[in-house]
Structure 1
Amino acid sequence: MLVQRLNRRWVQVKVPGCGWVRFRLSAKSKGAELPSAKTFRVTFRNGQWHVAFAVIPDPIVAPGTGEVIGIDRGVTITAALSDGRKLNCPQLTTKERAQIRKHERRAARAGKESPKKAAEYAKVARLKAREANRRKDWCEKTSTMLARTYGLVRFEKLNIKNMTRSAKGTFAEPGRNVAQKAGLNRAILAQGWGLLRQRTEHKAPGRVKDVPAPYTSLRCSACGWIEKNSRKSQAEFVCVSCGFTCNADTNAANNVAVGQGGIPRPRRSAGTGGVTAATSRSSAREPQPNWVGIPLF
């Protein structure tokens, strides 16, 4: 593959069957060396041409501090870090959302297969592509920050595919609250949870771990008591055992940071097949380590 730099901003690549094609470098590639890639891809999307090179970047070196960070992902707060920081993925502005609704209304009133309908939907696609570009840019910058700052990054393990599954159901058994579930699915996908986890793993291989998600938001990060009533609201956590008060997302991130996720299933009593009284309550104390006595003489 032939790639030649023309100046600081412009480069040309020889496309088979087309010849030399000039393209402008992105902002982060202006001062970098030309990519040593074997393949590239030219695409046309939303009225713009793009060329992408298949390059495997070098992993980011660990800072060497050994610091561990836990990340709790949510819809209201995209990523809550165990050190207290809260990171939010950029979304479309109120004006841009109003523009999308305006163009969708105009497209609905336009004639079927008319040029006006196609033009209005093209404007909607450009606005949604702008949101996707912002999300990708945020994930790239945030994952780079995590890889450079922390020695070990722990994410709350989420099955995003199952979480965003449609509730439409079938003709024989239609689902319930389909519109509300569809809105929740869009809100989840707009946060970029999977892309943030994926790009962090690419930039910090071997330094990204997953922690089981169950009970991370209900466990007190101070005493380990698990109680559903401790989660007062989306943002407030007050432990009913020790009185520890913290932001609910930060508390969950602290549990993720120390690898505290999930508890054993309730054990069934022999003979009756029922759940034992010790494990059937809504709260439970985190098991304490068994200390082995060492003889002094």
Structure 2
Amino acid sequence: MKIPKVGLVRFRWSRAVPDGVKSLRVTLDRAGRWHVAFAAIPDPIPAPGTGEVVGVDRGVVVSAALSTGELLNSPGLRDTEKIRLLRLLRKLARAQRGSNRRGKAKRAIAKLRAREADRRKDWVEKTSTDLARRFDVIAVEHLKIGNMTRSAKGTVEAPGRNVRQKAGLNRGILAAGWGQLVTRLEQKAPGRVQKIDPRYTSQTCNACRHVARESRESQALFLCVACGWQDHADVNAAKNVRDTAAGHAVAAWGGRPLGGPVNREPQRDLLPVG
């Protein structure tokens, strides 16, 4: 390719470029790698036309739990890579500012971080494409990720509490690729992604609609205290997200939308919708 003020530059193809592309961008990432990106907007993925609706619950331990029972995880660094990263961070802390040793450690850390980001991006692309091809409607929780990952340090006068734990949670949320997944879904399946109010989705029993915090036995187990329904906690939440998007069980439960804070017995004179 010919870059203005630089000349002809060789590069390695990673995919075919569609016809009609007229512009490109050359960037340098934090790992010292050069990339060339051609400006092209791909066509959206057509809906399968099956009428299937899927709910997606995003979490830290399980990156994306589907209402079908599938548990999807964003790949991160391997155990050996995590150990190497920890050693590099210690070396960086001991190195003198401006030294060659510090610069070498920073470059090695950047390469590991870039490798982790590449794996997360690849997972997001494959997962979003798979969901867009399999389901007509994709329901996700409407999460304000920016607010959820805000620092808890506070100020000198009013310092925050559990700052280290909150920082670890923030890293887990960002590593799971919550925002990237929804963004790519909206781009690949425009008009087919529904954002659902996340309140009480993890505390509502998908079988009897009873809302109770105590039903969430642990991170992975949901055991309803009212009817005894048992399921994976994230899958149960994903099913609630799916039912809300599909409009199920609204009329059957006294007109209360799924996720409301009030437990109510079903009205016997009404028939379930859907």
TM-score by shorter chain over 0.5: yes
Q: Does 1:180 align with 2:165?
A: yes
CA deviation after TM superposition for structure 1 residue 290, in Å: 7.2
C-alpha contact 2:18 2:40 (8 A) present in aligned 1: no
Find the aligned partners of 2:211 and 2:111 in 1 and give their Cα distance. Answer: 46
Superposed CA deviations along residues 162-190 of structure 1, whole A, max 9, x for unmatched, are 11000011122111111111111011100
Select between 97-106 and 133-142 the one with higher mean Cα deviation: 97-106
Which residue of structure 1 aligns with residue 26 of structure 2? Answer: 42
3-state SS in 2 of match to 1:111: coil
Aligned-partner residue type, residue 116 of structure 2: E
Which among 51, 58, 66 is matched to residue 73 of structure 1?
58
**Percent of pairs with identical residues:** 54
Aligned-partner residue type, residue 247 of structure 1: H
Summarize the alignment of residues 33-112 of structure 1 with structure 2, pairs less than 5 Å apart. 33-45=17-29, 46-112=31-97
Pair 1:91–1:33, CA change in 2 (3 A): closer
Find the aligned partners of 2:197 and 2:106 in 1 and give their Cα distance. Answer: 41
Which residue of structure 2 aligns with residue 254 of structure 1? Answer: 239
3-state SS in 1 of match to 2:10: strand
Find the aligned partners of 1:263 and 1:127 in 2 and give their Cα distance. Answer: 44
Which residue of structure 2 aligns with residue 167 of structure 1? Answer: 152
Instruction: Give the TM-score normalised by the residue count of structure 2.
Output: 0.89
Which residue of structure 2 aligns with residue 204 of structure 1? Answer: 189
Superposed CA deviations along residues 9-66 of structure 1, whole A, max 9, x for unmatched, are xxxx22112222221111xx1xx35453332110122222110122111000111101
C-alpha contact 1:155 1:209 (8 A) present in aligned 2: yes
Which residue of structure 2 aligns with residue 243 of structure 1? Answer: 228
Which residue of structure 1 aligns with residue 247 of structure 2? Answer: none
Structure having the higher strand fraction is 1
Aligned CA-pair RMSD: 1.8
Q: Flag the structure with larger Rg.
A: 1
C-alpha contact 1:211 1:261 (8 A) present in aligned 2: no
Q: Which blocks of at least 5 consecutive residues in structure 1 are unaligned?
A: 1-12, 265-278, 293-297
3-state SS in 2 of match to 1:80: strand
Aligned-partner residue type, residue 100 of structure 2: P
Which residue of structure 1 aligns with residue 6 of structure 2? Answer: 18
Which residue of structure 2 aligns with residue 123 of structure 1? Answer: 108
Aligned-partner residue type, residue 43 of structure 1: T
3-state SS in 1 of match to 2:90: helix
Find the aligned partners of 1:290 and 1:89 in 2 and give their Cα distance. Answer: 46
3-state SS in 1 of match to 2:121: helix
Instruction: Give the TM-score normalised by the residue count of structure 1.
Output: 0.83
